[in-house]
Amino acid sequence: MTESAPAANEQSTPRSRWPFARLGYLYATTVGFVWGSIWSTGRVERHEGLWVFRGMPRWTFGRGGSCVGSCYLTDRNTSPAVLRHELVHREQWRRYGFAMPLLYLLAGRDPLRNRFEIEAGLEDGGYVRRRSAARHRAG
* Phi (first) and psi of residue 29, to 5 degrees: -60, -40
Using alpha carbons only, what angle is made at residue 28 by residues 127 and 65, rounded to the nearest 5 degrees? 25
Torsion of CA 16, 20, 24, 27, to 10 degrees: 130
For the cut 70, the answer to whether the pLDDT of residue 59 exceeds it is yes
Residue 29: the pLDDT is 98
Rounded alpha-carbon distances, angstroms, from residue 136 to 33, 85, 125: 40, 21, 19
* Choice between 130 and 69, residue whose per-residue pLDDT is larger: 69
For the cut 70, the answer to whether the pLDDT of residue 90 exceeds it is yes
DSSP 18: P
> Average pLDDT for residues 75-90, to the nearest whole number?
98
60/57 Cα distance (integer angstroms):
6
pLDDT tens, 17-38? 888 999 999 999 999 999 999 9
Residue 7: the pLDDT is 39
